[in-house]
Every structure is written in structure tokens, then in C-alpha cells.
Amino acid sequence: MECCFEWRKPSLSHHPYMCFSPHDPPCGPCGPCGPVINVTLRVENFLGGYNFSSSVNIVMNQQHLIVFLQKAADMREEFRFSASYGTYGYYIDTINGVEANYPKHETWWHIKNQDNVSLPLGSSCYIPSDGEIITYEFVKGAPH
């Protein structure tokens, strides 16, 4: 079973941070598709307006975080998202209808682990480990 997607635009296929095509060398421990793992995704917005916090547990083959986020969106409405594609991969524009706009409002979706530490890579290239808890938190201001 093929478990990864063709996300990359061909013109960027050799960018060192863009490693989510099954035609490229693997950038993580699993290559295009690893063993079945258990990951918890969380989304949080406490900046005012439409506040929410939700989590979902996902059991599937190890692959890039964006694929887990897509699976979460299929499972729970609160995880529905939109993303734009740029030089470094996918930028998460909205989750659950809450839009990030760094240039105008300095707001963005911060991705952190269970120790409240920023992930070293974004949704396009980060590969979660078994048992990991990853949170997308809507934040304002630096660092971005």
C-alpha cells in the first residue's frame, strides 16, 4: 500500500527542507512510509474570539506530519485546515476556520511537542515518533 503523497512541486524537488516525495531520498527514519505508530495531535486557540482546544489520537504508518494533520481533519472537523505552498513547504494558513496572518496581525500556527518545545521542522518535513503529542497552537508575535 502506498502511504505517502506527491506534495512537492517539481521545480523545488532538490530543496534540502522539502523531503516529502516518495521519489526523493528519505529525510527521516521511515522513508516514504514507516511502521504503524500512535500520535496525538492537538489544536488550541486561546487568543480570544473563537477559543477552542481539541485533540485526536491517530494510529497509522509513520510519515510526514502534514499527512497526520490531513488524517486528523478527516476524523474531526476542528482539525480542518488550509495551507499555502512556499519555498520551505506548506505554511498552515487556517485551522478550524482561524486564519493566521503574520504580516498583518503577527499571528501564526506554532507547532510544538509535548514538552512545549518548537518542532525543528514544519508540517511538510517533520516525521513524528510513536507516542508523540504534537500541538498546533494559534499564537501572536515572535518567534516566527
Q: 0.85 cut: is pTM over it?
A: no
Label residue 144 by pLDDT band (50, 70, 90).
low
Work out the mean pLDDT of the chain and round it to a whole number. 81
Local confidence band at 11 (pLDDT 50, 70, 90 cut-offs): very low
The residues, any chain, with a CB within 8 Å of residue 12's CB and separated by 6 or more, are 18, 87
* pLDDT single digits (tens) 124-134: 999 999 999 99
In terms of Cα–Cα distance, which of 58, 99, 65 is closest to 82? 99
Residue whose C-alpha is closest to residue 130's, from 79, 63, 54: 63
Which pLDDT does position 32 carry in this prediction? 52
Q: Write b or e for each residue in 15-27: b if 16 or more Cβ atoms lie within 10 A of its Cβ, otherwise e.
A: eeebbbbeeeeeb
Q: Are 41 and 56 in contact (CB under 8 A)?
A: yes
- Tens-place pLDDT, residues 18-34: 344 444 444 444 445 78
* pLDDT tens-place string over residues 53-101: 999 999 999 999 999 999 999 999 999 999 998 888 899 999 999 999 9
CA angle 133, 106, 108 (to 5 degrees): 25
The rounded distance, in Å, linking the Cα atoms of 118 and 51 is 21
According to the model, what pLDDT value does residue 115 have? 96
Domains of the chain: 31-140 (2.170.130.30)
| Separation CA 16–CA 25 (nearest Å) | 11
